[in-house]
Chain A
Amino acid sequence: MALVDTFGARARRQLLGSVPVTVGLVILGALIAVCALAYWIAPYNPTRAVGGINEPPSLAHLFGTTGQGQDVLSQFLYGGQNTLWVAFTIAVLTTLIALVVALTSAYFRGWADDTLTLVTNVFLVIPGLPLVVVLAAFLPPGSFTIIIVLTLTGWAFGARLFRSQALTLREREFIAAAEDVGESRWRIVAIELLPNMGSVVAAYFVNQVIFAITAQASLEFLGLGNGGQVTWGTMLFWAQNTSALIRGAWWTFVVPGMAIALTAFSLALINNAVDELGNPRLRADRLLRRAGIRKSSASLMTPVKRND
C-alpha cells in the first residue's frame, strides 16, 4: 500500500513526463542497446590490428584506429559491454550491502546498531582511492578484482544514508501503529520501512552506477586493470600510453571519454528527477508555472498539490 502511494503510478507519470528524464533514458537506452548488440554490429574484432596505426575516422573505420591499429568503433562497442556490466554489478552489490547493514541496524537497534554504525564510520573515514589503489596493486588485475575492491570500499556511505532514512521513518506514526498492532519487527522492516525508502534507494543506486563507471575507468587508466581486456577504461589507458593526444590521435581518446561521460550524464539526469520525487520544494516551480502563477518575489511558498 505504501509502495503504491510513494512510488507507484503518480511517480511514474511524473518521471516519464519530464524532458531531462526522457533525454537521460533515451541516451542510456541507446548506449546499452548498441553495446549489447556488439557481437552483431561491431565491424571488426576489437583486439586484432585491422588497420593502420592511428588512422583518423574514415568510412572503413568510423571512429578511426588506435595506436595498435585496432578499430575504435568495435572497441567502443565491446568495451561498453565490459564496462557496463562491471559497473551495474558494483552498484547492485554496494546497494544490497548498504541496505542489509542499514536495515539490520534499524531492526536490532541497541548494541548491534552501535557496532554497525561504528564499522560504517570507520569505512567512511579511511580514504577510498589510496586503499583501492593499494588493494588493486596486490590482487591479480581484471574485472573481478575491480568489482571486489570497489564494492568493499563503496558501500559505507549508502549504509549511513539508509540508516538515517530508516530512523526518520521509525519515528513516524504508521510505524508506531504497526508496533501497537503487534506486527513482528521483521514484518515492519520489510513491509513498512523498505517500501518507503524506495526513492532514496533508487537515487543511491543510480549514483553508485556513476561512481562505479568513473572509479573503474580511473583504476584502469592508472594501469591497475587488465590491459589485455577491452573496456572504456583500458582504451583510455592505451591511448595515454601511446601518447595519442600528443600525436594528434584525439579519436582514440575522445571516444571512450565521451562514452563514459554520456553514460554518467544520462544517469545523472535520471537521478535528478528521482531526487525531485522526494523533495516537493524542488518540484514547486513546475507546479506553480502550470498553475499560471508567475513568481514575483524571491521567497516562495510551497504549493499544496491537489491529490487527484
Chain B
Amino acid sequence: MFRTWRQKITLTDILVWVIGLSIAVVVVWGTISTLQSGKYSVESWFDLAVKGLALGGVYALIAMGYTLVYGILRMINFAHSEVFMSGPFTAVFLANALNDSGFLNRYPLLGILAIAILSMAVSMSVAILVERVAYRPLRNAPRLVPLITAIGASFFLQYTFRGFYGSGFEAYPTIEALNGAWQLGTVRLFKTQVVVIIAALLMMLLLYAIVMWSKLGKAMRAVSEDKEAAALMGIDVDGIIVFTFALGGAAAGAGGVLYILQFPVVHFYMGFIPGLKAFTSAVLGGIGNVPGAFLGAIVLGLLESVGPNLFLDGLGIPVASQLKDAIAFIILVFILIFRPSGILGERLTQTKV
C-alpha cells in the first residue's frame, strides 16, 4: 500500500527504522538517567575513555588485516582472528623464557620488542599459509566458497594451536616497568594504556605510510582498483596479495602484543571476540579504507568501554559490562543496515570515481 504513496519506502524499511529509533531512544534515555544519577565521577569517565582508546588501538591493528584483504580480494578473511591469536599464543613461551632468565625486567624494551617480533613473524606466516592453502586456489570461485573455506581454516587453526600448546590458559609475565600509573592532577594514567596507545598510533602511521607512499603500497592500491589492469602494468598480482596478507598478519601480531599488555592471558579461543570486533571496526570506518579502520576502531573501543556504563547503567541493568560485546554486535548490525559504506566509506567511493 505504500508503493502507491511513494515508490521507495517499503514496509520493511519502516519496521527497520522503528527498531532503530526505539534503540536510539533507549540509548538516549539511558544516557540521561545515568548522567543524572551522578554515580560516576569525571575521573572514572576519563579512566574508561583511556581504556577504550587503548582497546581501540588494538582493534585498529587487527582491523588492518580485514580491511587490506577486503580492499584487494573483496572477501572477509574470516581466519584473521586466528592469525591474531597465533602470534601472542606462540610468543608467550618466549616471554616466559625471557622472564625466567630475568632479561625481561632488566631490558623491558628489548624484551617486548623480541616478543613483538616473534608474534608478528608467527602471525605473518600463518596469514601467508592460509592465503596459499585456502584462498589462492579459489580465487575465481563464487563468493560463498572462499567464505566457507575461511571459516574452515579458522577452526582448523584454532584446534591446531590447541593441539600444539594445549587447551589451557597461558599467562604472560608481568613487566614491572609497565606496572602502575602516572598521576596528573586528579586523573590517573595507567602506564600500559599509554604505551599501548602510543605504540598503536605509531604502527598505524607506519602502516598508512607503507600503503600510501611505498612502491609496494602503490602496487597494492593498484591491484585493489583493478587486478587485470595492474597485471598488465607489470605488477605481480599474486605477490601483492601475499604481501597484503603478510602486512595484515604482521599488524595483527603486533596488535596481539598490545592486547596481551592489557589482558595478559592467552588461549586458543582468544581470537574470536577481538577478531569480530576488529571486523566491526573495519566496517564501521568503511571497509577497504585504512584511516577508516583506525577511526572505526577508536569509536568502537570508546563505545565498548564507556557504553555499558553510560547507556545501560541508568536503565537499572545490573553488571552492564557483561553486555559490552552485545553493544559491539548491535553497532555492527545497525551500521550495516543504515550505512553499509561506513563512516569514511563515502569519501572512498568518491575518490575512486
Chain B binds chain A: no
Binding site for B on A (CB under 8 A): none
